[in-house]
Amino acid sequence: MSEQAEQNTSGQAEAPIEKDQLQAYFERIGYQAKWSATLDCFRTIHRLHPQCIPFENLNPFLRIPVRLGKDDLVKKLIHDQRGGYCFEHNLLFGQVLKSLGFRVKGLAARILWNAPVGAITPRGHMLLLVEAEEQTYLADVGFGGLTLTSPLLLQPDLEQETPHELFRLIMDRDQYVLQVSIKEVWKSVYSFSLEEQFQPDYEVTNWYLSNHPDSHFVTGLIAARSAPGVRYALRNSQLSVHYVEGPTEKRVLESAGEIKRVLQDTFQIRLPKEDELGNAFERIILP
């Protein structure tokens, strides 16, 4: 593990992830091979992370603060067996990669998925740029139902296979655009530049997304998890199961108890012990 501390914008040293925290992370995702700054290790943990640590927004949905400190992320995503959204996932993943010896830079993206054509969306998503074996890769373990399950070479117009969908990067003037092939149709996921982002940048956006009354992370329930050959997605009371080589199955969950069971069993989330949990789930049940 690297002994070099990262510097934040205030000039103070940010403590690297500790060896016991790194060990706990690898146990959480089921990684048992040698720790190393190799492409094989990078690809493997990128695949395992979204299988074992789900995407979910229970904290903002229940009005619980989302904290981005390293120890907060370790406690929530590793020890408490919870998940989180992009800032939580990618900040933790970036810390792990840095500790292994990779060069990592944080970026920000404008989400284009399901946005009207030509709409200008805020830079509300976090992703990572990673140097591995003298090549540059895009890494992102926190984009919900379309989370990458493999790093992508930062090379435009190259169709790249992952354990799930086919992806590519294209250029739109000076911006990279991530696209995914859905039923042989290319759809834009998000756009980004290579301008580095820092912890204070993510803190500001994180506060907005987890507190603004109109934020979709506040107004509804979201969860996602990948598994071999399948993706699971929950939006309020609708559960979708997307098969990589088959159809999509959808069903509506009809009670708060059923939502709890799906979050625990399908998404593998240890639910927070909140008095209002059941009432919050009842509010999103379709009439």
3-state secondary structure of 181: strand
How many whole angstroms separate alpha carbon 175 and alpha carbon 194?
8
What is the Rg, in whole angstroms, of the alpha carbon atoms belonging to the chain? 18
Cβ pair 46, 148 in contact under 8 A: yes
CB-based burial, 7-24: b 16+ in 10 Å, e otherwise: eeeeeeeeebbeeebbee
Q: Is 125 a catalytic residue?
A: yes
Active-site option among 41, 49, 86, 89:
86
How many whole angstroms separate alpha carbon 47 and alpha carbon 110?
24
Measured from the Cβ of residue 58, the count of other Cβ atoms closer than 10 Å reads: 22
Active-site option among 46, 49, 89, 125:
125
How many whole angstroms separate alpha carbon 146 and alpha carbon 133?
26
Cβ pair 60, 82 in contact under 8 A: no
* Nearest C-alpha neighbor of 202 from the set 88, 92, 72, 96: 88
Q: Is 86 a catalytic residue?
A: yes
CA-to-CA dists, residue 139 to 106, 129, 135, 250, angstroms: 10, 6, 13, 29
Active-site option among 41, 49, 52, 140:
140
**Helical H segments across 126-252, by residue range:** 199-211, 216-219
Q: Is 212 a catalytic residue?
A: no
**What are the backbone dihedrals phi and psi of residue 170, each rounded to the nearest 5 degrees, phi first?**
-125, 165
Element (H, E) at 282: helix 277-283
DSSP at 74: I
Catalytic residues: 86, 125, 140
